[in-house]
Structure 1
Amino acid sequence: MKKIIIRLDDVGGNDWQSYMVMNSFLTLKIPVSYQVVPDWLTYERAEHIKKMVSEYPEYAEIVQHGYKHVSYHRTGQQKKFEFGFSRSLAEEYNDILSGNLILRKYFGDYLTMAFTAPWEAQSQTTLQALKLVGINILLASPMSLSLLGYSPEVRTILFDIDTSRKIDGFRLQRPPQDIINDINKSTKDLIGIVLHAKELESVDLFYDLASRLKQLEKNGFSFALIKNLFY
């Protein structure tokens, strides 16, 4: 049976879009991994997210998404990055640890010890920092992983289906049926899907997407959280 794992990036800010998407998938009982940016959290936002995860632990989990979600790229560098490239091991370790401590403070045992780097930019230095913090699961795209290389001490989960794309600086959601077509064409046993909601003007298509994803259960697909795969 093929498994689908879904992550929602950029959670923890004051946008309404992410929370609408979280509710849509919870309503249909489709598991989603919330990629939370530690520095964006306030007590109220953390409590709201924690309430959702504690009430529906089989359908929601929390994963660390960077630290501040800021880019350290310089003029002339096209790729944004919070981790990797020119950042030192000490800098990356301090940021990952600081973010992890924030999430542990707010969420305790509801935190899954995995990591997604903003813009999926990371390096071997990032892997070293993750190991020092005690994180051994990395969520990444196939392209970013091919540039990173293999590490036997850090497990990787690949996400190669994105529900949106950026065109001329604007994030646009892809038609839900296109996502379903990508899933049906995939030859992988574990299919990773990335949801981006924060920058969208409307999230109406997400409920349609969630409904179509739910129908896949009838065709032999199942859904999983990261904590179900490795814990």
Structure 2
Amino acid sequence: MTDLFSKFDPLIEQRRALLAGGVEDPFNLVMERVISPTVAVCNGRETILLGTYNYMGMTFDPDVIAAGKEALDDYGSGTTGSRVLNGTYAGHKACEQALKDFYGMDHAMVFSTGYQANLGIISTMAGKGDYIVLDIDSHASIWDGCKMGDAEVVPFKHNDIVAMEKRLKRIPEGAGKLVILEGVYSMLCDIAPLKEMIRVAKENGAMVLVDEAHSMGFIGPNGRGVAEDQGCL
């Protein structure tokens, strides 16, 4: 009888071989103290953090720290419930209002993580009978959001406008269409030609979802991301 864990045996052996060859185990990296947005004490050594997404250093911003302490005093350490039951606090609404004003949008909604934002939005927007057209190099959270819904998923070559348009034109007439893009692709370190892609998507009757997780705050004249920088807002 096959054990459910047996499929991991090759991976376990691969890990053992790597460690035996002198490769440092990434799962043993422990931060004992974070000194700044870019420096931490890891396994007893002061270490420069080159892999952090803390681009703007907001984790050490005095205003952010003060607001965090105030929230703990006012609301405790957690919501103890979902947003639709008993988990919506005044702080959530204030944050959503600030985001709405910042982007000049009609609505805004905050999630606990960027990953969950993509899961919730994508699986809700596109369902059975709809089509999702997305960049092949989209983040894992985008792919997982697609899996949670019942929409047909149609990938296209990375940042290829022509390939995207071809796939849009093959979708049956009358079907709902959602194009998913990213402003900055963090794993590839490149930027999408959003302005042209959004134009093509709308010409073909598709809605557009843009993940700006790695561009909000420091790209664009006002930090509103690649969409602002390319004149899409």
Task: Determine if the TM-score, normalized by the shorter chain, exceeds 0.5.
Answer: no
TM-score, normalised on structure 2? 0.30
Structure with the larger RCO, 1 or 2 (CA within 8 Å, 6+ apart): 1
- Give the structure with the higher percent strand: 1
